[in-house]
Each structure stands twice: as C-alpha cells, then as structure tokens.
Amino acid sequence: MRDRMLRGELYNGVDPESQAEFDRVQDLLARFNATAPRARAERDALLREALRHVGEGVVVRAPFFCEYGAVSIGAGTFVNVGAVLLDVAPIAIGAACQIASRVQLLTATHPIDPGPRRLGWEYAQPITIADNVWLGGGVIVCPGVTIGEDTVVGAGAVVTRDLPAGVVAAGVPARVLREIDESDRVEVPPR
C-alpha cells in the first residue's frame, strides 16, 4: 500500500510500513515542537532528520505539522507558526519562500465515489511551490497544485488550480488578480 500511496494511486492507509514512517516522523516533530526556540541547532537537526530536504538558512517556527516527512524546503525559506503539510504525496517548497502562519499544503484527497471512500481508500497528488513565493496567512493549497516563481497568494485564499509565475492571486477559489509589474518595485535602503 505504501508504494501505491507514493505513486499517487488509490491506497488504503492501514499499512504497517506507512504507520512506521508516520510514527518516526511524529516522534521527531513532537521533539521539534517541544524544543525551546533558542535551541536552533537542535531544532534544525530534528527538522533535517524528519524531512527529505532542508536547505541552508531555512527557518521553521513551531508548531509545525506534517505526516510522513515527504517535504523538501529550499534555502532561505521561512515557514511561520502553525503550518500543516499533509504530505501523503511529496511537497516541494522552493528557495526564498515566505509561508505565513496557518498555511495548509494538502496533498491527500479521496474518491468522490462514496463506496471506496467509506472503505478507507484515498490517494494523493504532489504540491510544488516554486522559488520566492509568498503564501499569506491561512492559505490552503489543494492536491496537485503548482504555484509559479515570485507569485503572491493573498491571505485566506484556497488554491484549487495551478498559478503561473509572477502574479498576485487571492480569493476562494484563488484567482489571478494581476501580474506583478514595475509599480510593485520597492526601493530597498542600504544596510
């Protein structure tokens, strides 16, 4: 069943191998979430042990939740408090992303057909977040979605379909409001 799950096929979650991986990751995340904020080295080590890839300079604030650790986070990305990543299928977050508080990345889904759903069958589709994406507070990204580089998604949006690079999107369901252009440029003062 675990192989079926990882291939995005229908599977039933009652599987000893999947349960063992879930338990391993949950133990690590319990330790991560209980660790003092200033224990940065310990927190970083726990995160790297729990997830597939954690780039340099990644900051993840507790509490942080995922299921199986099938998460990759690119260098310089910031994940704020309360992120929920249901990683039945892989979740790839690019470099230099800003993930606001209470964002949900949800790869798990279920058949519309009530019979198989009642019997516990489910499947998942991967989520890909490109580099330099900003997801506002409470954004929900649904299974199978890809969000393009430099895109900004407004707080509370529910992203049900792919979003292209370089746009501002918001709403339920999320829709592209406009392209990011020269009027968005900000003069950054020297340090």
Candidate list 101, 110, 165, 175, residue with the active-site label? 110
Whole-number Å distance between alpha carbons of 191 and 88: 42
What is the number of alpha carbons within 13 Å of residue 73 lying toward its C-beta? Answer: 25
The sign one gets for the Cα dihedral 25, 69, 157, 170 is positive
Strands 175-179 and 167-170, bridge-based pairing: antiparallel
Beta strands in 59-161 (DSSP E): 59-60, 64-66, 71-73, 78-79, 83-86, 91-93, 98-99, 104-106, 108-109, 121-124, 127-129, 134-135, 140-141, 146-147, 152-153, 158-159
Nearest CA to 28 out of 13, 46, 14 is that of 46
Active site residue 53: no
Which residues have a catalytic role annotated? 110
